[in-house]
Amino acid sequence: MAHAAPKHRQLPDKESKLFRELLTQYELKQYKKGIKAADTILKKFPNHGETLALKALTLHSSLPEPLTVSAVPKKEEAEAMARLAIKKDITSHITWHVLGILAKSRKDWDEASRAFAMARKQDPDNIPLIRDSIALLTHTRQYPAALAARHHYLLLRPQIRSSWLALVIAHQLNGDLEEALKVYDDYQSTLKEEGATGPEKSQILLHVIRICIEAGKDQEGLDKLRQGVRDGIISPRGECTLLKAQMLANLGRQEDALQTYQELLEQNSDNLEYYKGYLKTKGIDLNVELTDESRSKILETLSTFAETFPRSAAPRRLALDYSTGDKFRELAKAYIIKGLERGVPSLFVDVKGVYTDSEKMKVVGQIVEDIVNKLEQDASLGDDGSISPPTMLLWGYYYLSLHLSYPLQPLPNYTRSLELLDKAITHTPTLPELYMAKAMVLKRSGDLLNAAYEMEKARLLDGQDRFLNGKSAKYWLRAGEVKKAEELLAMFTKKDLTPVQDLTDLQCLWFLQEEGDAYRKGGNLAMALKRYQALVTVFQDYEDDQYDFHTYCMRRMTFGAYVSLMRYEDQLRSHPAYFKGALAAIEIYTQVFDDPSITEEKISPEEEAERKKQAKKAQKAEAKAKKAAATSGEKNDPVVPDSDPTGIQLLKSETPIDDALKLWKPLERLAAERVETWLSGYEIFIRKKMYLAALKSLKSSQSISPSNPKLQYQILHFHQITSTSSEDIPQSIKSVIEKELPSLLTTSPDEFSTSLVDKANTPEEIYYAAKGLSVISPEGKQKIKEVLLKLGDSDVIPHIIYMEKSLTLLQSIAPEDVEEVHKKYRERCPDAWVFVSPSEKEEKRKGYESGLEGFQGEQNKEDEKKQ
């Protein structure tokens, strides 16, 4: 002990003994005893900071997880007590440590990291403090500070292997690869004794080799790798050999690198990276426009591989990407015939990758048409007289139906697709895939309800299959039938939870997005926002989950996986699921900002009745729980309920645009290459009157996608806003706008808008051209209507979403014209559910319902026959 404790911290012998007991009781999880001991001390010394802190910690640790209603005030008490403890004793490592632990349990990493830093100031050599600190500093990406703490730790524990190796990683994360390698060499010369297990040694060495590669030291890495394999430390299977191939290629040793890729392919001939690595090493860059010469080189290589690895589809499939013309026709035909013979349901999804080339899409269509035609006449396909399997025609119909209705088709033929599927169903009425395909075709045609009924048939054919169950639920959600979807999902979720709760707990992203979309389409923005925010929370959990691994991976020595985790978490929110959910939520927030009245609930009488019923039920349950609690003491202490079950509090946010900005922020950095990020950013900044940020968004969009239709509209909008509210804008900002805007708005606004209208061909262009018009000359109703009518023209690909948006736009400008435009859209998309009138909907629904009943009747008869 260097210093005596300050006076206010000293306790008489009796209390001092109690204090030590309190520490032990906390560690042994004897929380009740601990609290009692603390209370005894506090009775005499109510201002003893360290006792207050330990009581707070003990109380906090005793609370149930998840938190129950009766525990809420105790938690608040513990938090307040921990803060009070700091006030009473600001120089104690214990009071700061406790504050840090409580913050950590709230997952408030920043506050925890600050509190731990304070605690370490008081007690610099405290090992557990340093260990937790390192995790927190790493978690919050304070790499230099984490490195310093690691260094300190090594000085205190130089004989432990993991303190050396963890320092290597700390240097790597801090971006200093040279120093990382140096520490590794020092470690090797310092700690000679054996002790790590075989797999641990392998993890360590492989990772050091990775650092060598990152540092550009391929020769050093290669030497280490060779030695490691020779000594039996690392196995030449998988990653080790891939690293070897990459190092050899970097060192210009082409022949050896090719040989190594060959070895990799022998280990796994379905790995595309191996094929691509092989081709790249051969000097063929797949990322640039290929010459005829490199094409034939690629195809030659792939065809050799196809012979060597007959069970792998990869070389034959890759050849479809790199061949053209007659060669493509020949290869595609062979590939498709093989797939149809085997009855591979995913053949279409597999081959449609080439459809981005419209010529290839046409050729594939012809090939399949030919096959189907021949098989309809004769069971033999080839000239050799061999008989094709009877299911081949069925899978031919299946493929063709998906092909003809594919969204990239200039003229999708839904009717023929459905006819083909009906033929296939007559052939084999019990194959769920055929009904799934029918559902997909109907969905593409816009007939969402009919699609859901068809998917439901697929589900009924195999009720034990969760995939079909989920698909059917998804289709019901798309048709706006939330309740029906949840009923189905409940068949595979925990019985003691609602399906929504279970799927949220399990982080089921697709469900949260789809149900959010369903609510949004149905006008229930509050519930939509609630689902989107739940999705955003899942990503927060994904981020928080990494915390334990800062310590764990150092112990397990899985450094390579750990470093990938750190890099992955840094860009976590670039994940498409976050992107989609966040953008949808942002749109709702901007809507609320524009018109706060939409947060006033408009609920139908049915919903009203349902709610009353639910409220009554809840009341009853509560009364029952209270009664039970009164009789059985603490036992009936329910978990804290959701404070916003309808999402209305979320929707009624006082700060909708700030909420939107919070969701958008991660995208600015992580999805900066996507134009949607900046299109969405503009909508936020213009509402916040942050004109320069809005301008920057426009310019970023322009650099990614200069002709993006929505961007053109936003440019006009920006001009309109900044020129009409110009007295609110400071001169300095105005002059920037005046300087920068001409690079976006290259002509007068009128000319700009007219040229957009003239050039508009795609549905998106047409809609935004009209929207642009509505901004600069809202009085030109006639013109806007004319533009919007074009969406229904026969030479424009029908696009239901833009038609819907157009009707909404028109409703706000010229409601008297809506009927005319609606009529034209309806004629163009006769099946689109959104244009069908309520009475027609009822009629159709009845038809589908009886169709489903008939189907079920048939099923039951079949089942009886079997028994």
Partner 1 sequence: MDIRQATIDDLIGMQNANLLNLPENYTFKYYLYHALTWPELSYVAVDPRGRIVGYILAKMEDEPSPNTEPSGHVTSISVLRPYRRLGLANKLMKQAQEAMVAHYKASHITLHVRKSNRAAISLYRDTLGFEVHAMEKGYYADGEDAYGMRYMFNKKSEMESSS
- Interface residues toward partner 1, by CB under 8 A: 198-199, 202-203, 235, 237-239, 267-268, 270-273, 311, 313-314, 342-346, 349-350, 353, 433, 436, 465-468, 470, 492, 494-495, 503, 505-510, 541-542, 545-546, 548-549, 552-553, 556, 558, 560-562, 564-565, 568, 575, 577
Closest of 121, 96, 126, 95 to residue 111, by C-alpha: 96
Nearest distance in Å: CB 573, partner 1: 12
Cα separation, 645 vs 2, in Å, equals 57
SS3 of the chain: helix, strand, coil, percent, to 5: 75, 0, 25
Place of tokens 């109380």: 59
Count of CB atoms situated within 10 Å of the CB of 207: 23
Nearest distance in Å: CB 63, partner 1: 21
Q: Which is nearer to partner 1, 168 or 354 (CB)?
A: 354
Helix axes 72-88, 93-105, angle to 10 degrees: 150
Which pairs with CB-CB distance under 8 Å and at least 24 residues apart come from 309-312?
Answer: 309/265, 309/269, 311/269, 312/269, 312/270
Q: Which is nearer to partner 1, 464 or 597 (CB)?
A: 464
Give the list of residues 6+ apart from residue 424 with CB closer than 8 angstroms, or none: 394, 397, 398, 401, 431, 434
Count of CB atoms situated within 10 Å of the CB of 509: 19
Q: Which is nearer to partner 1, 111 or 239 (CB)?
A: 239
Cα separation, 512 vs 623, in Å, equals 32
Nearest distance in Å: CB 265, partner 1: 12
Closest of 324, 392, 311, 334 to residue 354, by C-alpha: 324
The encoded tokens of residue 53 equal 């802190």
Nearest distance in Å: CB 439, partner 1: 13
Cα separation, 735 vs 582, in Å, equals 33
Nearest distance in Å: CB 408, partner 1: 14
Q: Which is nearer to partner 1, 48 or 444 (CB)?
A: 444
Q: What is the rounded end-to-end Cα distance, in angstroms, of the chain?
A: 85
Q: Which is nearer to partner 1, 484 or 575 (CB)?
A: 575
Nearest distance in Å: CB 519, partner 1: 20
Q: Which is nearer to partner 1, 369 or 462 (CB)?
A: 462
The encoded tokens of residue 577 equal 């699921």
Nearest distance in Å: CB 268, partner 1: 6
Closest of 338, 348, 306, 300 to residue 322, by C-alpha: 300
Specify whether the CB–CB gap between 216 and 178 falls below 8 A.
Answer: no
Q: Which is nearer to partner 1, 415 or 540 (CB)?
A: 540
Nearest distance in Å: CB 139, partner 1: 14
Query: What is the 3-state secondary structure of 778-844?
Result: CCCHHHHHHHHHHHHCCCCCCCHHHHHHHHHHHHHHCHHHHHHHHHHHHHHCCCCHHHCCHHHHHHH
Nearest distance in Å: CB 334, partner 1: 17
Nearest distance in Å: CB 565, partner 1: 5
Q: Which is nearer to partner 1, 345 or 365 (CB)?
A: 345
Q: Which is nearer to partner 1, 133 or 203 (CB)?
A: 203
Place of tokens 């009906």: 422
Closest of 824, 853, 164, 84 to residue 554, by C-alpha: 164
Specify whether the CB–CB gap between 559 and 207 falls below 8 A.
Answer: yes
Nearest distance in Å: CB 487, partner 1: 17
The encoded tokens of residue 515 equal 């149900």
Q: Which is nearer to partner 1, 31 or 492 (CB)?
A: 492
Q: Which is nearer to partner 1, 500 or 716 (CB)?
A: 500
